[in-house]
Amino acid sequence: MDELIKPLPPILNGKFQYGSSGFTVNGIGREDPYEWKMLFYTDYIKGVRAQKQARERYDKKVKKTLLHAQLSHYGIAHKASKPVADLLQTFRIAMKDRKVSLIDQVANYVLTIIQCDIAPQDLLDLESSLRLEYTKADKENVSNQKQSILAHYTGLESLTARANYSPRLFIEQEFLSKDQPGEESQTGAPIALRGLHNRASIHAAAEHTGLHAVSGGEGDDRTLFIGWDRDAVWSLSQQYSQIQRERRQQKQEEEWKQALEQHHNFVKKLPAKSHKQKFDIDSTEGQYMIRSREIELGWNIDSMTMQITGLDDDWLAEFDLGVITGLMLFDEDPDSLRAQWEEAQHRKF
């Protein structure tokens, strides 16, 4: 449910605000003063590489919005409309007025550097006051949203719709709810969820609670089974997959019968021949349906086809077996076929 809760808008007080990101100015919080010391005094950092990295951070950090925020956080008077160089100089001067002697552990000798570690007391008091106000308001906000979310959840008719709405809330309400008897929730039949949009989220939520989740079937009929009993979950998944395979095979048989019936009807309409006809490769042109039990069952293929087309003196078969597609040359004469193949090595189809 937590992923559905929207944070309360920040509470404003002049240029300061307090919200889910804490005490900020234009969304920027008060940064570690030691970081600024190191950025302002990069030459005192030990090591050329460390100095280079500090200068790179300095170049990225020294922006007008950030300087305005930090100056505001430390109560340093300034005009936000001033250029970056002026704001930076104001920052340097103000911090030099607060300098003390510190032992720099990085450079291993005594340095006199700036100190701006503590914000003015009035700003610290303001931060504390806004924090208390925001915490109280946010607690009420979260409570109201949870009631609204739960009401919407229970209003959804199907379990799949509920799982799509919030995987975590689905797990909590359907399996971990205190309203459910402990034994029943631990031994109840697995739940089947067909048409999930966030299958991975359900799997992740299940793993953290000790539930078992596995999918069965394929395509639009892909269904996720979830429950406490691992054997029951896997059994239902396998049964569902088997039923779907049988339905697909039945559908394939029906389509094959219809194709054969159409073919037989077509043959009946052809004129009768009084003598046996010699094989004519031209008569092979057309579209074919292909049956292969090994491919259909091994790769769950619904249909396989081949289209034969005559191209000048060549014959080309374009096949689609589901798991592989390609082109095939063929001819009545082996020598002619070999010549076509050699020529095809230099031809672009």
Strand order of the β-sheet with 191-194 is 191-194, 223-227, 212-216
- Cα-flanking dihedrals φ and ψ of residue 211, to 5°? -75, 160
The larger pLDDT score, comparing residue 26 to residue 40, is at 26
- Cα-flanking dihedrals φ and ψ of residue 128, to 5°? -65, -40
Residues 230 and 170 in one domain: yes
Among residues 217, 237, 257, which one ends one of the domains?
A: 237
pLDDT at 41: 65
Q: How many domains does the chain have?
A: 3
Q: Tell me: the pLDDT tens digits for 179-238? A: 444 443 445 688 999 888 888 888 888 888 888 988 888 777 788 999 988 899 999 888
Query: How many CB atoms lie under 10 A from the CB of residue 255?
Result: 13
Give the mean pLDDT of 8-33: 90
* Residue 267 included in any domain: no
Residues 218 and 297 in one domain: no
Among residues 118, 147, 180, which one ends one of the domains?
A: 118
Write out the residue range of the structural domain in which residue 190 sits. Answer: 157-237
Q: How confident is the model at residue 61 (pLDDT cuts 50, 70, 90)?
A: confident
* Residue 266 included in any domain: no
pLDDT at 216: 85
CATH (domain of 185) = 3.30.1370.50
* Residue 145 included in any domain: no
Whose CA is closest to 230, among 211, 249, 217, 216? 211
* Residue 12 included in any domain: no
pLDDT at 206: 82
